[in-house]
Amino acid sequence: MKKILSLLLMVALAYPTIACTNYLVTKGASKDGSTMISYAADSHVLYGELYHWPAQKWPAGSMLDVYEWDTGKFLGKIKQAPETYNVVGNVNEYQVAIGETTYGGRKELHHQDGAIMDYGSLIYIGLQRSKTAREAIKIITELMSEYGYYSEGESFSIADPNEAWILEIIGKGQGEKGAVWVARKIPDGYISGHANQARITNFPLKGKNTISFKNIKKIFNTNIENVYSDDVITFARKKGYFTGKDEDFSFSDTYAPVDFSGARFCEIRVWTAFNDVKDGMSQYWDYCKGDIKHGDNLANGHDNKDHYATNRMPLWIKPDRKVSVKDMMHFMANHLEGTDLDMTKDMGAGAFGCPYRWRPLTWKVGEQEYINERATATQQTGFSFIAQLRSSVQNIGAINWFGVDDAASTVYIPMYTVMTKIPESYKVGNGNITTWSDNSAFWIFNQMSNWAYTRYSLIHPEIEAKRMAYEDQFIANTAKIDAEAQKLYKESPEKAVEYLTNYSIKQANRVVKEWNTFYHQLFVKYSDGNIKVKSNSKEGYKFVTPQLDQPGYGEEWYKKIARETGDKLKMPAAPTH
């Protein structure tokens, strides 16, 4: 109880923005047979650190204090479980992983007086109490039913080594308790994603694969692939949100209708991953840029009575190739490269092609409103992870590939989810969002990425090469580390856990220390607008000056300066006499 209380208070300043991204890969769609989900927790005031709850048994009658994850507000008490499991970040010892993105939805449904369960508490309490994705869904939905739902509309990614699910929920507003929601299992061999826009549209209401909440105990039947709250449609009718036939009901289009912002700032991030592994995704490009169609008829030919969007992107796709952990890291680093919205190409990128835009997200010139793009990789990421959930590896758990700050500049460290201690450089309490720490991974990586933003096209390629070298080495070493841990497990489970704990801690602290040294090297090399490279030593010289390059701003940017300034910066013509 004290562990969760202290953690939630420490993250009390972590106010979210509409800026998170999840990708989900089923085991049949992954290169090594793992189930994977990724999550970027993005907020300008979220401090990146690795949370940890150790496994614990609780006396009968124990109660748990619940504090809102975003603000630290005390919401109430709930019954504690008799036993809770080891949780490292957003993955537990039984290889259950949960991520989220906030979509908001209808504002009148946000928050309800007396509700205790906010979305962050649902995630971390769910992880402490579940051994499978299905059990996590059951626990989360039962907690909302019993204690009420406090937050706005949320999409959850919930996965284990065998399955990946999307659960989308929204509260009922004032006067009613709990939430309406839908959970769907992603078909094996497919991938999905969500990024702050609700994405579950139509879903089966009947059949051997579908149950409603009143039959939630049947969720452990592996035939079940769709679960929904009993009143998900009747509540919408009561509120006047939906008037069509039950079979036409769309959760997303009813409770969080997609608009320009939902497509351009949110759906577009899902599209980038889909497009990377599937031909033909260009058909959804105009939709992702914000061109929402509302045809007269739905896909089944029925009248579009509720003005649903009719050119939506699918909830999941079957990729043309298998997806690897490395691919997931690549997805997380995207800035819309290769599209006509490539953030390295427009005026906002400056002379050095920086794919980041300082907030606010929208801005005006006169009465005309403009936007900045919102890509997957962003400067305000607190932490991100890729959960690699492995049914082929027994006893030693999942790998939480964990990084802090900008996903395009971080190094994903393999954190085994059976580990019992957290590396000092990633530990909760080592610095905070307003306090520097010299050995905090969050600040060390921020220092580097912010230096790169000043001359991105020159500095970032060196960072990218360095981080990829680390990650490639970690991935290549995984089989050897697994084998050694499994060998030790046969001798003693405790020895295997200690080995994996020490391995993860050693790699994490090593990378942070070496990254700090790397920053010093790049700062010296690129300071004052120069590029300085050590010269070969020369016999007889007292000192040797470095080779110096001053590339300036580049030809295209100089042309822009010349057009903008007219005659102001022109050199006078040389005298003719």
> pLDDT tens digits, residue range 420-448?
999 999 999 999 999 999 999 999 999 99
The predicted pLDDT at position 6 comes to 36
**Distance of alpha carbon 398 from alpha carbon 386, whole angstroms:** 10
Structure tokens at 474: 């970690």
Q: Is the pLDDT of residue 394 over 90?
A: no
**Model confidence band, residue 17 (pLDDT cutoffs 50, 70, 90):** very low
The H-or-E segment that residue 167 falls in is strand 164-171
Structure tokens at 312: 């939506």
The predicted pLDDT at position 2 comes to 36
The H-or-E segment that residue 476 falls in is helix 456-491
**Model confidence band, residue 13 (pLDDT cutoffs 50, 70, 90):** very low
Question: Region 277-283: what's the mean pLDDT?
Answer: 98
> pLDDT tens digits, residue range 470-527?
999 999 999 999 999 999 999 999 999 999 999 999 999 999 999 999 999 999 999 9
DSSP 114: T
Structure tokens at 44: 């300008």
Q: Is the pLDDT of residue 534 over 80?
A: yes
Q: Is the pLDDT of residue 14 over 60?
A: no
Q: Is the pLDDT of residue 7 over 70?
A: no
The predicted pLDDT at position 421 comes to 97
Question: Region 9-37: what's the mean pLDDT?
Answer: 77
Pairing of strands 413-416, 91-92: unpaired
Taking residue 540's Cβ as centre, other Cβ atoms within 10 Å add up to 4
Q: What 3-state class would DSSP assign to 236?
A: helix
Distances (CA, A) of 491 to 139, 463, 487: 35, 41, 7
Q: For the purposes of burial, counting CB atoms within 10 Å of the CB of 539, is it exposed (0-12), middle (13-18) or buried (19 or more)?
A: exposed
The full set of domain ranges for the chain reads 2-334, 393-529, 531-565
pTM score: 0.94
The predicted pLDDT at position 111 comes to 84
pLDDT above 90 as % of the chain: 91
> pLDDT tens digits, residue range 97-143?
999 999 999 999 998 999 999 999 999 999 999 999 999 999 999 99
Cross-strand partners of 531: 549
